[in-house]
């Protein structure tokens, strides 16, 4: 839009054409294809964010039941006989716990894919690395859970007890459970590394609050620290991740509540993260 101004000077009239600098150019001036591309990118990020948020919250609930109730709740440290008796007395709960943990491992793969889709516009290379760390962790976790499934081999076979005796059978049950814990602990290093890479992506994204990036980094540190402490220090029962791990839970809530309103303005844009989702 232009404005014409007529200025009189003696016998002559001068015409000045002034461009209207207040005219809006933003999205209206973008080619239709570019607007569609940005819209598709935003929708893809929002869908992936919701999927990841739902998956993470489901994993929290399933792992709380599967590990804290069905496994840890039945184990008596150092007492193989009571542990075996508890497992037999609550066999249904123990089996449901194993199923819950398998579902957690499957959801880990879904969440890895969703987070890859969400952060791919930020850095495809780092997003892929984070996804592979999480998928590798899920594989180790499945290997650990298979040890729990092996608990029922000695308990459910009548001929087994006659060959090895009850004391040895009870010790074998506890050994299976301890092996599950040891394998899982080793795998948590991979999980911690996946959170570190996610924190890096969150800092670079511009649409995730940097506070969440910090919480993810702290959570990743907690998991790695616990595993290294248990490996390097004999008898260590470090459980820092029980506190630092809350960072991932907060991230899951943000993904579900605020992630659906993420505004993506294209690669290289680092807008105010809180304003980006208003």
Site of tokens 């795998």: 187
User: Can you give the pLDDT at residue 23?
Assistant: 39
Per the CB < 8 A criterion, the answer to whether 183 and 140 are in contact is yes
Question: Region 92-102: what's the mean pLDDT?
Answer: 95
CA distance linking residue 12 with residue 18, whole number of Å = 19
| Residue partners of 56: CB distance under 8 A and separation at least 6 | 111, 248, 249, 251, 252, 255
pLDDT per residue as tens digits for the range 63-91: 999 999 999 999 988 888 899 899 989 99
* CA 13/CA 251 separation, integer angstroms: 67
CA nearest 97: which of 73, 114, 115? 73
Q: Hey, where are the domains in the chain? A: 41-258
**Confidence tier at 40 by pLDDT (50, 70, 90):** low
Q: What is the model's pTM?
A: 0.78
% of the chain exceeding 70 in pLDDT: 75
């Amino acid at each position: 839009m232009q404005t014409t101004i007529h200025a009189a000077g003696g016998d002559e009239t001068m015409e000045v054409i002034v461009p209207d600098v207040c005219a809006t150019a933003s999205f209206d001036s973008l080619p239709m294809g570019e607007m569609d591309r940005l819209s598709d990118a935003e929708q893809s990020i929002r869908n992936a964010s919701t999927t990841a948020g739902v998956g993470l919250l489901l994993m929290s609930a399933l792992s709380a039941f599967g590990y804290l109730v069905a496994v840890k709740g039945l184990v008596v440290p150092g007492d193989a006989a009571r542990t075996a008796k508890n497992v037999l007395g609550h066999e249904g709960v123990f089996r449901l716990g194993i199923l819950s943990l398998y579902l957690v491992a499957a959801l880990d793969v879904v969440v890895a894919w969703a987070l890859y889709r969400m952060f791919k516009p930020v850095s495809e290379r780092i997003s892929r690395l984070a996804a592979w760390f999480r998928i590798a962790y899920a594989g180790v976790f499945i290997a650990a859970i298979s040890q729990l499934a092996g608990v029922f081999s000695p308990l459910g076979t009548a001929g087994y007890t006659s060959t090895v005796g009850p004391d040895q059978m009870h010790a074998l049950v506890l050994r299976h459970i301890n092996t599950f814990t040891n394998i899982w602990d080793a795998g948590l290093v991979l999980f911690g590394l996946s959170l570190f890479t996610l924190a890096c992506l969150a800092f670079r994204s511009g649409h995730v609050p940097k506070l969440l990036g910090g919480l993810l980094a702290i959570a990743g540190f907690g998991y790695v620290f616990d595993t290294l402490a248990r490996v390097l220090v004999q008898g260590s029962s470090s459980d820092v991740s029980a506190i630092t791990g809350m960072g991932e839970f907060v991230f899951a809530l943000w993904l579900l509540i605020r992630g659906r309103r993420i505004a993506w303005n294209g690669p290289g844009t680092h807008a105010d993260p809180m304003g980006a989702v208003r």
